[in-house]
Structure 1
Amino acid sequence: MNTLWLQRRSLLLATAAAAATLALAGCATQSPGLAEAPPIVFVHGNGDTAALWQTTVWRFESNGWPRERLHAIDLPYPLARDEDAKPQPGRTSAAEHMAYLQAEVNQVLKTTGARQVVLVGNSRGGNAIRNYIYNGGGEKTVSHAILGGTPNHGVWAIPGFREGNEFSGTGPFLKALNAPKNAAGDEVSGPVKWMTIRSDNNDKFAQPDGLWIGQKGTTTNVTAAGPELKGATNVVIPRIDHRETSYSPAAFEATYRFITGKAPQATTIAAEKQVVLNGKVTGLGVDPADAKTGNFSNNLPLAGAQLEVYATDAATGARSGPPLLRKTVGADGVWGPLSIPPGTPTEFVISAPGYATTHIYRSGFPRSSNLIHLRAERMADADKAAESIVTLTRPRGYLDPARDKMLLDGAAPAGVPAGAGVATAKVKPSGGQRTIAAEFIGERVVGQTWPASQGRLVMLEISQ
């Protein structure tokens, strides 16, 4: 087993690198050696969306990777079943997940004319990648497999405890994947080249105690090394959290180096002169048009939703003028395209029956992307009496008070537990409509509060 330690000089250097994620470093040019770069297919994690790969795709583009060879899948129902063998509305089995990935890979190969792809997965996405390579013909179509934070030996490995779940280390799914592939007992085999990326001890799903799975005080029989695979190149990056095993600058650097054999020119994101944004609007539940079918995440289009997009003032979050775009979303959920100057702070407003009017503020976009997916939210009953509801959200990582410098409405976010265990923090500000800001390691997102009595929610989304 080959284990690499990517040491950070200090936490300050690590946070500085993260802050530089959105640096406007000038337009990148395509490297001649990457003209025929292998297509990369990105596979998101449990309950997540292709949008989480937005900054990773930008980093590859900034290092010359052709945009048309970077593809992020969007599993329609991204949550795993409670018990893999039993159908569950709005959830996918491991086999269904693998079949979806297989179809996406086949389409990418057809579109690009390539013989093989690189697969890069976060968390549950790595389960689908392993399943596809060993059980779906992927050993012929995949050159490299890179798994970030994948619970390869389970989130728990407790005999008799939820062993039918995809994330059980003692269950049939992972036991089959981890069966020795050769006399040395390796858990991976060629011709695919394998790499795992894990945290040293800060991944909530690779912990010896069951705190983050609702089993505090229970020994999980899983350690921080759980994501490693015998026979793979196993990279350890200090202090990164579960999502940062894929979406951080350090994870990008390791991924790029593994694919190409050399370091990237930069892990920062180069700005384009003209930015074109697109994505889709999604909702919640088995049927996003029917609130009775649940409030869990899906990646299904929210047909009929109304979307408005505004440029905003960087200091106040107030709208700078009339909407840049106003559109009724069609059956495919696509809301764009929209041309916008790079770095423009932006407000997205989603209105749809059965949902709160959702105001999403972003600090700006240095590059074009078709992964600007937007999810309408519903208001919790406990929040309906509040004057305003504002949530700081970090989709590509977690919030760690011991590690991260962050503020919400001028104060450290209340209720965020120690360790990298949650990705959101909520406040209920008063004082009428006003400016409100979130800061996270150098990135500042500024918005406006809106009245909850009008059925409005505010999301301040961190890009890094």
Structure 2
Amino acid sequence: MHTRRHILATGLVTSLLAACSTMPSSADRPPIVFVHGNGDSAALWQTTIWRFETNGWPRDRLIALDQPMPLARDNDNVPQAGRSSPAESMAFLQGEVDRVLKATGASKVILIGNSRGGNTIRNYVQNGGGASKVSQVVLGGNPAHGIWAIPGFNEQSEFSSLSTFILRLNAPKGPNGDEVTPGVKWLTLRSDNNDKFAQPDGVWIGAPGKPTNVPYDGPALKGATNQVLQRVDHRETSFSPAAFAATWQFLTGAPPKSMDIAPESALTLDGRVTGFGLSSTDPASGQFTNNLPLVGAQVAVYATDPITGVRRGDAVHRKTVGTDGRWGPFASQPGTAYEFEVIAPGYATTHIYRSPFPRSSSVVNLRPDRILPADRDAQAIVILTRPRGYFDAQRDTMRFDGQTVLPGVPPRGAGVSSSKIKLDNGAQRAIKGEFNGERVTGLTWPAAQGHMTLLELTY
């Protein structure tokens, strides 16, 4: 896990046949549809898809979805603006699977889901007709038995073991009383004890010291092949090299030929620009993620010096985002680090820095951020973020602007995926983030003029 892996991604159903590919399609490999978790996006599957491609799975049969409203309701029985119910999430997946089957001519798909995406998959297979359209399912970090089982504590959240939704999902099925739908092959992947949402203590649900009544093996399901991955965090149950190796073995019956990603000589990058919704009751603090296109956003891409973060000349790509939300395609150079500048009304001008891309990807999703009221006294704001995993102070080697103790990262446990530094000096300078061998360097920008910096880790 501490070795940097190179990797690749594919597109959404809407770009299923548009992704540039160096590998032919193959009827021997069924389509794989990837379903992200609560509040996440298709972009998190980027490294997983790169690993599949490197091992020969055709790019046009790897489809990562963007659920429009990825956050679950607080209470499944109460409609909530900007959030989705299990039924709505299932209906979205139903439509996407049907589109994939039609586009590829395949008879069945494989579904791979992380976290909440796993319950969407289970609901679809059990209650949405998916049993006849799905051959295999892989669930990473799926809160199969909820995140808590506390009487009187938000019992109708879809993350409560006591909710009607979870109880129905886990009702005995088939002659053996399994929790999974018969006729489909199932694999669950879980952490030994490092998944923030499978903890006997309520620290990650805001109730430290209070028993959740959900054990470490909460993601395991009767009737499935249940596998434990050592020390992985909640997101790494799907997005880590270990998760890929276990998934490939389950799907093919053999280990992957390579865990290192084969680089490409010609790269095309693309993705979607999305934003944040705002709570009508408290717009300042009530923003929430969605995967709706941020129409009108302006994207500029700059090649940068990987040591200093300084731009190497003028923008190499510019685009105003249309109704499809896409900011590309962009023909990038191998081995080149890039800055993605996103300008949109109501947002900070966000400067996103990434380490060089080894392969093409159509899920390089961009999301501008807002300067929160508590940060308006800062001269510069820099966030180091790891979308495909969390920071673990006991496990990982990390450095942020020279600090080995990252602001906001607890000394124990893996439950935080970003760290923020507020600077009291507005002079522009290089700032670096490091994580287990990956290094991202950017520049600070003046917060007083509505700018902020995001150092985004790939691995």
The question of a shared fold, defined as TM-score above 0.5 by the shorter chain, is answered with yes
1:46-445 alignment, distance < 5 Å: 46-285=38-277, 294-412=286-404, 413-417=406-410, 418-431=412-425, 432-445=427-440
* C-alpha separation in 2, matches of 1:348 and 1:364: 12
Deviation at 1:284, TM superposition (A): 0.6
Query: Which stretch of structure 1 is more off in the superposition, 320-329 or 102-111?
Result: 320-329
Deviation at 1:220, TM superposition (A): 0.5
Size of the aligned set, in residue pairs, is: 443
Q: Aligned match of 2:5 in 20, 23, 36?
A: 20
> Against the structure 1 CA distance between its residues 304 and 189, is the aligned structure 2 distance closer, same or farther, given a 3 Å change threshold?
closer
Give the corresponding residue for 2:13. none
**C-alpha contact (below 8 Å) 1:310/1:320 kept by paired residues:** yes
| SS class of match (1:426) | strand
> Against the structure 1 CA distance between its residues 329 and 65, is the aligned structure 2 distance closer, same or farther, given a 3 Å change threshold?
same
Q: List alignment gaps of at least 5 residues for structure 2.
A: 9-20
| SS class of match (2:97) | helix
* C-alpha separation in 2, matches of 1:196 and 1:276: 33
Give the corresponding residue for 1:7. none
| SS class of match (1:41) | strand
* C-alpha separation in 2, matches of 1:402 and 1:356: 33
**C-alpha contact (below 8 Å) 1:89/1:286 kept by paired residues:** no
Q: Which stretches of structure 1, 4 residues or longer, exceed 4 Å deviation after superposition?
A: 28-32, 290-294
Q: TM-score, normalised to structure 1's length?
A: 0.92
Give the corresponding residue for 1:6. none
| SS class of match (2:295) | coil
> Against the structure 1 CA distance between its residues 117 and 339, is the aligned structure 2 distance closer, same or farther, given a 3 Å change threshold?
same
* C-alpha separation in 1, matches of 2:283 and 2:260: 41
* C-alpha separation in 2, matches of 1:29 and 1:96: 36
Q: TM-score, normalised to structure 2's length?
A: 0.93
Deviation at 1:414, TM superposition (A): 2.4
* C-alpha separation in 1, matches of 2:214 and 2:347: 39
**C-alpha contact (below 8 Å) 1:30/1:63 kept by paired residues:** no
Deviation at 1:184, TM superposition (A): 3.0
* C-alpha separation in 2, matches of 1:357 and 1:434: 17
Deviation at 1:328, TM superposition (A): 1.2
* C-alpha separation in 1, matches of 2:290 and 2:356: 25
**C-alpha contact (below 8 Å) 1:35/1:66 kept by paired residues:** no
Letter of the structure 1 residue corresponding to residue 5 of structure 2: A
* C-alpha separation in 1, matches of 2:111 and 2:352: 30
* C-alpha separation in 1, matches of 2:335 and 2:37: 28
Q: Aligned match of 2:446 in 438, 447, 451?
A: 451
* C-alpha separation in 1, matches of 2:384 and 2:208: 26
Letter of the structure 1 residue corresponding to residue 423 of structure 2: P
| SS class of match (1:59) | helix
Query: Which stretch of structure 1 is more off in the superposition, 338-347 or 426-435?
Result: 426-435
Deviation at 1:84, TM superposition (A): 0.8
> Against the structure 1 CA distance between its residues 75 and 371, is the aligned structure 2 distance closer, same or farther, given a 3 Å change threshold?
same
**C-alpha contact (below 8 Å) 2:174/2:182 kept by paired residues:** no
Query: Which stretch of structure 1 is more off in the superposition, 381-390 or 148-157?
Result: 381-390
Q: List alignment gaps of at least 5 residues for structure 1.
A: 1-13
Deviations 1:325-366 (A, max 9, x none): 111111221110000112311100111111000010000111
Deviation at 1:190, TM superposition (A): 2.4
> Against the structure 1 CA distance between its residues 247 and 119, is the aligned structure 2 distance closer, same or farther, given a 3 Å change threshold?
same
Give the corresponding residue for 2:17. none
Letter of the structure 2 residue corresponding to residue 433 of structure 1: Q
**C-alpha contact (below 8 Å) 1:79/1:92 kept by paired residues:** yes
**C-alpha contact (below 8 Å) 1:394/1:424 kept by paired residues:** yes
Give the corresponding residue for 1:44. 36
> Against the structure 1 CA distance between its residues 263 and 287, is the aligned structure 2 distance closer, same or farther, given a 3 Å change threshold?
same
| SS class of match (1:428) | strand
**C-alpha contact (below 8 Å) 2:189/2:226 kept by paired residues:** yes
Deviation at 1:22, TM superposition (A): 5.4
Tell me how large the CA RMSD over aligned residues is. Answer: 1.9
Deviation at 1:294, TM superposition (A): 4.6
* C-alpha separation in 2, matches of 1:31 and 1:406: 39
Letter of the structure 2 residue corresponding to residue 95 of structure 1: A
> Against the structure 1 CA distance between its residues 112 and 287, is the aligned structure 2 distance closer, same or farther, given a 3 Å change threshold?
farther
* C-alpha separation in 2, matches of 1:206 and 1:305: 38
